[in-house]
Each structure stands twice: as structure tokens, then as C-alpha cells.
Amino acid sequence: MMAVMLFILAGLAEIGGGYLIWLSLRESKPVWYGLVGGVILIVYGIIPTLQQFPSFGRVYAAYGGVFVVLSVLWGWGIDRQTPDLYDWIGSAVCLLGVLIILWGPRN
């Protein structure tokens, strides 16, 4: 359960930090939005190191799948872009990939 929470926290930090920078640069929000976004992105870089999985590559590969799902949900909740069938199918495929990468049987 801790692994799942860390993946979600890292995803929200990356998306949220990037979103604040986007707002600052693309939507003329104050510069401090971008600065706060940058700090959040630094924190995002630290969060995955708290995972207990021994392989950097596996953690980041699995995180990529979680990131895709969280991005679709962010777009739906924040940008009001309703996901379509293919967004949901793609998200499900990504989550299946996360499960296989992290918990697939290995010798």
C-alpha cells in the first residue's frame, strides 16, 4: 500500500509542479507560480527514492504507467477534458503494465 501511495504522491507532484509552470509561462500567471512549480518538481524527484523496490529502472518504468493514469484524471478534473473510451483503455493498459513490472514473478 505504501508503494501505491508514493507513486500517487510522486505523480501529483510532477503533474502539479508542471501545471504551475505551464500556468506561469503559457497563461500569464505570476512568476511565483513557476517558481513554486519548480520547487514541487524538485520534491517530485526525491519521492521515488522512498520506494522499497531495488531497481531504479523498474520504479521509473512503473511510475510512467501511474503518471499516464493520473494525467488523464488531472485533465478530467482540472482541465475539464472528459476522457474518452481510448483514454480509459490506454490507462487500463498502463496500469496492467505497472502491475506486471512491479509484481510479475521473477526467478
Instruction: State pLDDT tens for residues 58-104.
Output: 888 989 999 999 999 999 999 899 999 999 999 999 999 999 998 88
How far apart CA 85 and CA 72 sit, in angstroms, is 12
Instruction: State pLDDT tens for residues 27-67.
Output: 999 999 999 999 999 999 999 999 988 888 888 898 999 99
Query: Three cell numbers at 105?
Result: 514473478
SS (H, E, C) 53-85: CCCHHHHHHHHHHHHHHHHHHHHHHCCCCCCCH
CA–centroid distance for 11 within its chain: 2
